[in-house]
Amino acid sequence: MRQEAQAIVLAAGPGMRMTSLTSHTPKCLLPLGTLPMLCYPLHLLQQAGFSEVSVVVSEGQEQRVGKMVEQYGLKVDLDVAVVSTAHDPGTADSLRQIASKIKQRSVEEVVVISSDLVTDVALQDVLDQHRSRGADLTMLTSPTPSLQTTPPGPKSKTHLNSDIICTEAGSGRLVYAVAGGDYDECVTLQSSLLNCAAPLLLSASTQDAHLYVMKRWLFDYVLNKESPCADMGSLKAEILPHIVSCQFTDHSSNDKLGLSGAVEREEWDDLVKKYNSSVVPSRHHSLAHLQPPVCLTFHHPGLCVRANTLHTYWHLNRKINELFNQVYPNSEWQLRHPTAVIIERAQVSEDSVVGGGTMVCEKTNIASSVVGKHCRINPLVRLSSSVLGDHVTLASGCVIENSLILASVERKCVIKNCIVTDSNKIEEGKTYSGEVLEATQDFA
Amino acid sequence: MPQKENKLDNLCNLLENIILQHGREAPTPGQKPAKVDGATALPPPRAGTQNAVPSTSGGLPASLHSALEAGKDLSKEELERERKARKEAKKARKKGPGKENVEERKETQNSGQGSAPATTVKGSPVKGAPTTPVKGAPTTPVKGAPTTPVKGAPTTPVKGAPTTPVKGAPTTPVKGAPTTPVKGAAAPAIPVKGAAAAATPVKGAVAKPVKVAAAKSATAGAAVPSSILVVDLRYGKESSEQAGVEVAKPAGQDSTAGKSKADLRRERREKQEAQRQAKLALKEQQEEQKKQKDKQVVMEKAKASSKAKATGEGTRKARVRRASSRGSSERKVPLLGHLPQYSPNPPPHQVNSDSIHPAVLTVGLKMKYGVVEGATARVISMLAALKLFISDYRTPESCDLSRDMADKLKPNVDFLHACRPHAIAMDNAIRSVKHKINSIDPLTPEAQAKDELRGAIDEFVGENIILASSTIATHATTLIHDDVLLTFGYSALVCDVVEAVVKEGGKVSVVVADYPHPPSGAAMVQRLDRLGVPTYYRLVTDLSHIMSKVTKVVVEAEAVMMNGAVQAMCGTACLALAAATHHKPFIVLCQTYKFCNIDLTDSLVMNELGDANSMVSCPSQEHQGVLADWRDTQNLNVVRLVYDVTPAGLVTVLVTEQNVLPTSAVPVIIHRKYADILGQD
């Protein structure tokens, strides 16, 4: 039986924009509200009804990722593929890695999603729009999230450019896209774009959420060794703009390398078009002259954040308590895990998240924080607006504010605005502020 | 005008038939089967008011003031009286058609409803009816005289739905659309005045008397029923035929004088019945409240994240929630409750479901969201999907292909139907596919069988659509040469005809009448423009003005019924009306695969509800939201019907691929074409 859609989660990303965290934990397993980040896209897929998901991870992680599903009560079968980290693989390389597996299956659509996406969009709606409008590629867009929180660590002004996305008003057709990092000060729009009858909306405040739904033939074409996409490394930054631009190139004269050879045409397409009296702008409209690939956007105004920078990661972690209530009300992900032991005399604020197996001792005060799994918080600790990773022990008397702690902390430390990934760096009774305390490579 | 009267008589007969049919429908649960005698009519609970059992010719006794005496059940006397009344009514019908019209309505109220409105029902007459303020019945409790002065000046034939305001303070508004099916056009609300009775809003709907009764009990006491009904029929069908019909007041002969024992007894029985109903209503209300509470509980549960739950359970709940939220926006419109309700969302479906083929899913969604519109386009895209379904089909070991495939096909077809009710042409196409599947020899190897099926579908499209269209165009050139054509909306078939005529050297110009929701005619204009045909684009509201300059009207049918009635996109019927008034030929183009062996006389029995929201959206910024929350407005119903029905009498000629035919030839073609299939039905 032909399947409708195949989901691929790209989880091999090294986390180049948050290197201080990913040096010893792969990005897809970084804790986000006590759960590994990868859980969120998997949950999204599961909600839509996917029972089987392919995940591409970097070497050495396949075991941990494979176990994750049971551990967090997800009901999807993972099909884990491994990509070697030797040559700094891009997203397209990951796709090529898994392509051979997909090839054998007969599916209509491929859903490609990044492992760092946290959103409350209903994937089913995206798929519905994709199918009903006859799109070849649908991209999820959302307003660029505004981040009020200040992340810990030294103040840095590494402000990245935002994505630039140009759509046709009304139909939501994607006519131009360029990824944030790929331009400096100016972008060039082809004048042929202006031939689009409808007004164009060009926006820098809209982000590409890195969730794509592709028709099977387009997916195959992209991964084809003979296509122009063969040397491209990144799906978002290279392949996508290429596909989008193909909408406007005249490939009637092109040879088999072009898209025209790959396009899968539906039977009686022209006939349907002729008799169609619809007024909805689509490929099937009687006057439409769209040629494949038809690229559309699905704009989701709600929550949609990619935890791919330290800033967004921090932001999501701080907001995760709201998320748990609103987005995952029925999952077993909860603010207080049942196996967490919280001594009665400890003060834990309502908006804190406490993971499973954690022990919170008396005379502690936890406010607006995320405490990971199997942590131990000893007496007389004050923790506010902070995020703790898994297996962290806070010795008694610590005061921690607005910090990200992934390693155990010694007694009576005062830590403010810091990122701690290595416990060896922390000495007893000291005060740290605005630093990154990470393990340095010792070559001695 | 003997002719007109004749027609009217026919219509009345039809009406009666329809009413009888509906009367026979299963009674709603919790409701006693409707009795045909007026004897069961009830007064409102604790009414103490008059119960108007209207009768035309004085036969039926008006129910009287309340309980005095005990007695047995129906007396013979009453039955006798009833019989008499009917006889007389029949006579009256023969005499004056208009009169009988009203009477008819009354009768249904008596018969089907089982609960007569505690008031006089004043039915504003037929379409032309200027909003008639109704001053209903006498308020005195004892008198049941249902004087319903109907001022239904039958004037202009084409008129939208008149809305009649409800008058009076202690009114018990009867919500209802008295539009009897035959009447088609307007659904005027019937304001009813009278009886300061406890709110017993009666939804008097003639088409569905039994249901109405149920509705009544549901709303009794609590809700205020709607009294405005806006129907966007874009003119119903036979309105013209009703023109000139004078709706006579039902003879409000009171029979108070002869308060017989039987009458009193009846009164008592009515009272009892009313009490029972009140109880029932209360129960229903409570149940509803309970349901709401349950819902709240579910929501709260959802919010409460402190309890551990199995994920599977959790997700299932989430899905259910999603599904239920989808259905909540519906609100049933009186008279149209039998039509599948429009929902803005597609039916719930899961990714990678085993039962629904992805191609079918896609087509279903395309139809749902109006990406593919029009019977022909829908048929083609559906058949294309079914071809893929057949290609991907594998016969299980233990089964015959023909049997198993039919089973597997069913959920797919059901899904399509859930997305959007099938067009008649689609039903025909599906039936032909099923017929092919069933007739496959079980010994045929699978690959060959599938080839055969795909071939049959190809053949269907080739013969019935591609070839037929070009043949129709050729046939039409014999009728059209140098003409000014009027057409409605987008129709590829009309375009083909125009193209063929132009090729033959005819000098045609085309007026495209369009309707703004949705403006499909715009595409038509562009296509005609490419052909180099002088084209005028007008709104359908200009018809009366355009018609004098037009020489022929050409439209495409969505379906043609056994009795020659033509189902087409809503708005087509008013072209037919205008053409008839101006004595212009009305040419209908239709492939014979859209023929249907159902008799249809009105556009309410079989139709589809469209998105009413699209009607109330106003392009002006200032007034955009005026009706946006119409669902919350108790007294307002917005209805959008997709099709209308043009009666056979208004169709000059039917152009099919077989020949140029009068509408009376339709049964012949149906019998010839569907002989094999009809036999199976």
Structure tokens at B515: 């309707």
> Using an 8 Å Cβ cutoff, are A193 and A175 in contact?
yes
Residues from chain B that touch A324, judged by Cβ atoms under 8 A, are 305
Separation CA A97–CA B342 (nearest Å): 46
Maximum alpha-carbon separation in chain B: 85
| Residue B637 binned pLDDT confidence (cut-offs 50, 70, 90) | confident
Tell whether ipTM is more than 0.85: yes
Separation CA A401–CA A369 (nearest Å): 9
Cβ–Cβ below 8 Å for A268 and B383: yes
Q: Which of A18-27, A398-407, B615-624, B636-645 has the lowest mean pLDDT?
A: B615-624
> Using an 8 Å Cβ cutoff, are B379 and B363 in contact?
no
| Residue B639 binned pLDDT confidence (cut-offs 50, 70, 90) | confident
Q: Residue B499's pLDDT is what? A: 94
Phi-psi region of A361 (alpha: psi -120 to 50; beta: other; left: phi over 0): beta
User: Tens-of-pLDDT digits for all 444 residues of chain A?
Assistant: 678 888 999 988 877 778 777 777 888 888 888 888 898 999 899 888 888 899 998 888 888 888 888 888 888 888 888 888 777 778 888 888 888 777 667 788 899 999 999 998 999 999 999 998 889 999 999 998 888 778 887 776 666 778 889 998 878 889 888 888 788 888 888 877 777 767 888 888 899 999 999 998 888 888 888 777 788 888 888 899 888 888 877 655 555 556 666 777 778 888 998 999 988 888 888 887 777 788 999 999 988 998 888 888 888 888 888 887 777 766 667 777 888 888 888 888 888 888 888 888 888 899 888 888 889 898 888 999 898 888 888 888 889 998 888 888 888 888 888 888 877 777 888 888 888 877 665 444
Between B424-438 and B446-461, two packed helices, what is the crossing angle to 10 degrees?
Answer: 150
Residue of B673, B649, B647, B646 whose CA lies nearest to B659: B673
Rounded to 5°, the CA angle A323-A329-A330 comes to 140
Rounded to 5°, the CA angle B129-B133-B139 comes to 135
Which of A267, A280, A332 is closest, CB to CB, to B371?
A280
Distance from CA of B422 to the nearest CA of A (A): 16
Residues from chain A that touch B313, judged by Cβ atoms under 8 A, are 330
Beta partners for residue B513, in sequence order = B488, B538
Cβ–Cβ below 8 Å for A49 and B490: no
Residue of A200, A161, A163 whose CA lies nearest to A178: A163
| Residue B161 binned pLDDT confidence (cut-offs 50, 70, 90) | very low
> Using an 8 Å Cβ cutoff, are B62 and B255 in contact?
yes
- More confident call, A295 vs B625: A295
- Most A CBs within 10 A among B297, B326, B351, B530, hence the mutation to make, goes to B351
* CB atoms near residue A320 (< 10 Å): 25
Are β-strands A77-83 and B509-514 bridged in parallel, bridged antiparallel, or unpaired?
unpaired
Residues from chain B that touch A170, judged by Cβ atoms under 8 A, are none
Could you tell me which residues come within 8 angstroms of residue B384 by beta carbon, excluding any fewer than 6 positions away? A266, A267, A268, A272, B359, B363
Q: Residue A28's pLDDT is what? A: 86
Could you tell me the domains of chain A?
A: 3-249+292-327 (3.90.550.10), 341-437 (2.160.10.10)
A335/B contact by beta carbon, under 8 A = yes
Could you tell me which residues come within 8 angstroms of residue B633 by beta carbon, excluding any fewer than 6 positions away? none
Q: Residue B554's pLDDT is what? A: 96
Cβ–Cβ below 8 Å for A332 and B309: yes
Cβ–Cβ below 8 Å for B369 and A2: no
Could you tell me which residues come within 8 angstroms of residue B250 by beta carbon, excluding any fewer than 6 positions away? B54, B55, B56, B99, B102, B103, B106, B146, B148
Residue of B539, B540, B594 whose CA lies nearest to B567: B594
Q: Which of A62-71, B149-158, B604-613, B615-624 has the lowest mean pLDDT?
A: B149-158
Which of A5, A75, A106 is closest, CB to CB, to B311?
A75
Q: Residue B145's pLDDT is what? A: 40
Q: Residue B591's pLDDT is what? A: 94
Cβ–Cβ below 8 Å for B306 and A336: yes
Which of B369, B380, B520 is closest, CB to CB, to A271?
B380
Q: Write down the residue that tokens 């290609």 correspond to.
A: B391
Separation CA A31–CA A52 (nearest Å): 23
Cβ–Cβ below 8 Å for B315 and A73: no
Residues from chain A that touch B387, judged by Cβ atoms under 8 A, are 267
Cβ–Cβ below 8 Å for B489 and A277: yes
* Per-residue pLDDT at B463 exceeds 70: yes
A197/B contact by beta carbon, under 8 A = no
* CB atoms near residue B100 (< 10 Å): 27
> Using an 8 Å Cβ cutoff, are B250 and B106 in contact?
yes
- More confident call, B101 vs B565: B565
Distance from CA of B447 to the nearest CA of A (A): 16
A39/B contact by beta carbon, under 8 A = no
| Residue B259 binned pLDDT confidence (cut-offs 50, 70, 90) | low
Q: Write down the residue that tokens 């439209």 correspond to.
A: B555
- Most A CBs within 10 A among B362, B404, B591, hence the mutation to make, goes to B362
Are β-strands B566-569 and B559-561 bridged in parallel, bridged antiparallel, or unpaired?
antiparallel
How many helices (H) and strands (E) are present in chain B, helices listed first?
20, 13
Q: Which amino acid appears at position B341 of this protein?
A: Q
**Residues B138-164: what's their mean pLDDT?**
40
Q: Which of B16-25, B222-231, B640-649 has the lowest mean pLDDT?
A: B222-231
**Residues B126-152: what's their mean pLDDT?**
40
Q: What is the pLDDT of residues B537-555, one digit of tens each?
A: 999 988 988 999 999 999 9
Cβ–Cβ below 8 Å for B465 and A338: no
Residues from chain B that touch A73, judged by Cβ atoms under 8 A, are 310-311
* Per-residue pLDDT at B556 exceeds 90: yes
Cβ–Cβ below 8 Å for B306 and A275: no
**Residues B206-215: what's their mean pLDDT?**
39
Could you tell me which residues come within 8 angstroms of residue A298 by beta carbon, excluding any fewer than 6 positions away? A121, A125, A126, A129, A130, A138, A139, A140, A141, A172
Separation CA A442–CA A423 (nearest Å): 15
- Most A CBs within 10 A among B315, B394, B520, B617, hence the mutation to make, goes to B315
Q: Which of A9-18, A133-142, B33-42, B362-371 has the lowest mean pLDDT?
A: B33-42
**Residues B581-598: what's their mean pLDDT?**
93
Which of B309, B315, B384 is closest, CB to CB, to A266?
B384
Residues from chain A that touch B369, judged by Cβ atoms under 8 A, are 132-133, 280
* Per-residue pLDDT at B391 exceeds 50: yes
Distance from CA of B212 to the nearest CA of A (A): 36
Output b/e per residue, A8-38; b: 16+ Cβ within 10 A: bbbbbbebebbebbbeebbbbbbbbbbbbbb
Handedness of CA B280, B286, B289, B295 (dihedral sign): negative
Cβ–Cβ below 8 Å for A49 and B352: yes
> Using an 8 Å Cβ cutoff, are B109 and B116 in contact?
yes
Residues from chain A that touch B377, judged by Cβ atoms under 8 A, are 272, 274-278, 284
- Looking at residue B603, the DSSP 8-state letter turns out to be S
Q: Residue B91's pLDDT is what? A: 63
A265/B contact by beta carbon, under 8 A = no
- Report the chain A residue with the minimal C-alpha distance to residue B357: A2
Could you tell me which residues come within 8 angstroms of residue A285 by beta carbon, excluding any fewer than 6 positions away? A273, A276, A278, A279, B523
pLDDT, mean over chain B: 69
Separation CA B220–CA A48 (nearest Å): 42
Q: In what order do the strands lie in the sheet with B595-596?
A: B595-596, B559-561, B566-569, B643-646
Residue of A132, A29, A278 whose CA lies nearest to B368: A132
Q: Which of A142-156, B22-36, B204-218, B262-276 has the lowest mean pLDDT?
A: B204-218
Rounded to 5°, the CA angle A30-A113-A316 comes to 40
Residues from chain A that touch B362, judged by Cβ atoms under 8 A, are 108, 131-132, 134
Q: Residue B139's pLDDT is what? A: 39
Cis peptide before A293 (omega within 30 of 0): yes
- Report the chain A residue with the minimal C-alpha distance to residue B362: A131
| Residue B563 binned pLDDT confidence (cut-offs 50, 70, 90) | very high
Distance from CA of B164 to the nearest CA of A (A): 34
* Per-residue pLDDT at B598 exceeds 70: yes
- Report the chain A residue with the minimal C-alpha distance to residue B361: A131
Cβ–Cβ below 8 Å for A271 and B392: no
Cβ–Cβ below 8 Å for A338 and B308: yes
Which of A279, A331, A332 is closest, CB to CB, to B520?
A279
Q: Residue B526's pLDDT is what? A: 92
- Looking at residue B174, the DSSP 8-state letter turns out to be B
> Using an 8 Å Cβ cutoff, are B152 and B247 in contact?
yes
Length of chain B: 681
| Residue B70 binned pLDDT confidence (cut-offs 50, 70, 90) | very low
- Looking at residue B562, the DSSP 8-state letter turns out to be T
| Residue B52 binned pLDDT confidence (cut-offs 50, 70, 90) | very low
Residues from chain A that touch B405, judged by Cβ atoms under 8 A, are none
Q: What is the pLDDT of residues B228-243, one digit of tens each?
A: 444 444 433 333 344 3
Separation CA B495–CA B376 (nearest Å): 14
Separation CA A118–CA B164 (nearest Å): 54
> Using an 8 Å Cβ cutoff, are B575 and B609 in contact?
no
CA dihedral A284, A285, A286, A292 (to 10 degrees): -50
Could you tell me which residues come within 8 angstroms of residue A441 by beta carbon, excluding any fewer than 6 positions away? none
- Most B CBs within 10 A among A110, A278, A328, hence the mutation to make, goes to A278
Phi-psi region of B224 (alpha: psi -120 to 50; beta: other; left: phi over 0): beta
- Most B CBs within 10 A among A50, A127, A132, hence the mutation to make, goes to A132
